[in-house]
Amino acid sequence: MNYVVISFSHKSCEIETREKLALDSDAKKTALLEKLVCYESINEGIVLSTCNRVEMILSVSNVYDATQFTMKAVSQYSGIEYYELEGRAEIFEDEGAVHHLFSVISSLDSLVVGESQITGQLKDAFRFSYDRGFCAQKLSRVMHYAFKCAAEVRTSTSISENKVSISSVAVDMAAQKAGSLEGKTALILGAGEMSTHAIRNLAKHGVKMRLISRDYNKAKEYVKGFECDLTPCRSYELQAQLNRCELLFSATSSPDPVVTREMVEEQNFRRYWFDIAVPGDIDEIDVNGVDVYKVDDLKEIVAQNITQRQRYAKEAFKIVGRYTVAFFKWLEELSVEPLIKQIRLQADEAIQKELQRCLEKGFLPKEYEANMEKAMQNAMNRFLHNPTKFLRNHSEESKTDTMIESLQSFFSIKDIDSAPDRYKCEHETK
C-alpha cells in the first residue's frame, strides 16, 4: 500500500486553471471519487477543493498506474489537456505525500501562511469521503496524524497569531486601495465561512454591510450571529446594491458568475470588488470606477504575511517533519504487531491441541495438565522471544513490508491488515 497526493495549487496554477479544476458541488466530488475508488489500483480517496488548491489524496496499490488514471480522470472532468495537467501537477508519494499533507493541514503551504480555514476544509473533505465509503482505515490513519500535527503546530508556534484568511487579506487590501474604509458600505455575497471572516474584519473598520444569500430566511438567521451593522437583502436587490455600495466581497458556491456586466452601471464614486470564490462569482467587468480583484491579486499583501511568519514556519516545519517520521514508525508497528499476535495465536493453538492429545492418549495424568500447559507456553515464549524482538527492532526499515509478506506466507496468515477499531481516526465520525 502506498500514499499518493496529486496537487494543483496556487503555486503552479493560475486562477483560471483552478476554476476549471474546482469541484464546486457534492455531485462532482462524488462522481470523481466513485470513478477513482472503482479503479483496481486505487483503494481509498479524498478530494480537497478550495479557492487555492485542488488535491486528490489517495491510498493505492500501484503508484504509477493510479497516478496516470487519476490524471486522466481530472483531465476529463476539467476539460484541461492531460499534458498541460502533467506540467502543472505536483505529485507526492509515501513520505513525500504524508509530509505534504501535514504541511497543508498546518497551513504551511497556504497562499496566506497561518490562515485558519484549511484545517476545517480538510476535516470536511475527509468527513465527506468517509461518510460515503470512499475512504476507510488507510486514509483514516494518516488523517488521524494530520489533525494531531496541525494541532501541535497551532499550540507550539505563533504561526496562527492574529489569525488571517483570504477574506481578511482582501479586507486589508481594500483598506489600502481605498485609503480608509470608515463610513463605507459593503455588499457581501454568500453566507459561508469566507463571508464570516470578511464581515468580522469589515466590522472592525466600522463598515456598513448588506448581505445577499440564496435563501433570504437563512440570511436573516445568519446575520443574528454578528454584532455589527449587517442587513440581509433579498436576491432581487442584487443589482441595486451593486450600484450603491463602494465595496463588494463575493464568496458564493455558484458554479457560474453571479455578477455580470449587464448589472453594472457607472457611478460617480470608486468601487472596489473582491471575488474570493473559485470558480469566480464576478464576470469580466470593464466599467470606469470599478476595480475587480481576484484571489491571485492578493499576493502583494500575502508576501508581507510570509515575511512576518517565516520564523514561525521554520519551527512549524520541524514539527511536520517529526510527525511524518512518527507516523511511518507507528504504521510499521501496526503491521508488525498483528503479525506477532497471529504467530503467537498459532503457537497457542498448537500447544492446546498437543496437550489434549497427550491427555487423550494417557501420556499425561490429568492432574499435571495445568503445569504442563504452563511449561509448554514458557517454552514457546522462549522460542519466539528472539524472532519477536528482531521483528520489532527492524520494524522501521524499508525491508519490513517484504519480511512481513514472507512471514505471512510462511505461517499461512491471511490479511492481517483488517481494520481494527483501536486504530480508527478519532475525527472520522465527528
Dig out the grid coordinates for 255 from the structure: 458554479
pTM above 0.75, yes or no: no
Among the listed residues 7, 105, 18, the one whose alpha carbon sits nearest the alpha carbon of residue 56:
7
Does the N-terminal peptide bond of residue 279 adopt cis geometry, omega within 30 degrees of 0? Answer: yes
Mean pLDDT is lowest, of 136-145, 154-163, 243-252, 321-330, for 154-163
DSSP summary character for residue 259: B
pLDDT classification of 419: cutoffs 50, 70, 90? very low
Which is more confidently placed, 307 or 230? Answer: 230
pLDDT tens digits, 312-328: 778 888 999 999 999 98
CA distances 150 to 68, 160, 173, 353, Å, are: 30, 11, 28, 51
Distance CA 423, CA 139 (A): 11
Active site residue ranges? 51
Examine domains 2-162 and 166-303 and report if their fold is the same.
no
Single-letter amino acid, residue 54: V
Give me the CATH code for the 166-303 domain, please.
3.40.50.720
pLDDT classification of 424: cutoffs 50, 70, 90? very low
Beta strands in 61-200 (DSSP E): 90-93, 185-189
Residue 247: pLDDT over 50: yes
> Under 8 Å CB-to-CB from 321, ≥6 apart: which residues?
99
Distance CA 295, CA 413 (A): 53
Residue 423: pLDDT over 60: no
pLDDT tens digits, 287-301: 999 999 988 888 666
Domain range 2-162, CATH architecture: 2-Layer Sandwich (3.30)
**Domain parsing of the chain, residue ranges:** 2-162, 166-303, 332-423
Among the listed residues 121, 104, 122, the one whose alpha carbon sits nearest the alpha carbon of residue 113:
104
